Amino acid sequence: MFHNQSTKQRAKSVTHANRGKFLEHVIDMANTKYRNAGLADIRKIPTPVQITKDKGSQVEGRKEKPEWVDYAGVCNGRAVVFDAKETKGKSFPLQNLHDHQYELLRSWYEKGAITFLLVYFSELDKYYRLPFPPLQAAWQTAKNGGRKSIPLETFVEHASEAISMDGYTLHYLLPFIESRW
């Protein structure tokens, strides 16, 4: 995997404000390689900001409530939308996925887009691409009073592990590129 220091050391030193920046960096590097190879064009969706003061060369603002997921783009003629999350432990807490993110994934999935969660289990140093159907099943279970997290076993059984290979920091689109929709 792509690491300059051990993941456990990095995970302990990450502040709440910088949580997810490592994962974002790894994904952005992969996205640049996908674009340069002509295989896909996936972009990070910036957090919306409302400008409160404009002082010429200085601008002040506040973050607005986001209504999107982290990434969107196209691969082999199909829309791709996904959210990237990092978790410690051996399960993914569904509270880390906001309602608006789930609803966007559901809507796009129903319209034929490639939709998934890309989850980094930092203590295990493993990345999984969880397709929408098992996410939907877990979400409905939680909404009906059941388990509020997705256990690692679900990722092992229903997700694909995304790995570093062929010069990609994280080759998370490999199945979609190989299949040539």
Binding-site annotation, residues: 70, 83, 101
Of 75, 3, 6, 64, nearest in space to 34 by CA:
75
138 CB burial (10 A radius; 0-12, 13-18, 19+)? buried
Check the CA dihedral 165-167-173-178 and report its sign.
Answer: negative
Q: Provide the 8-state DSSP code for 107.
A: H
Instruction: State the binding site for Mg(2+).
Output: 70, 83, 101
H and E: helices and strands count for the chain: 6, 10
Q: Residues 135, 105: contact at Cβ < 8 Å?
A: yes
* d(C-alpha 76, C-alpha 40), whole Å: 7
* d(C-alpha 95, C-alpha 12), whole Å: 21
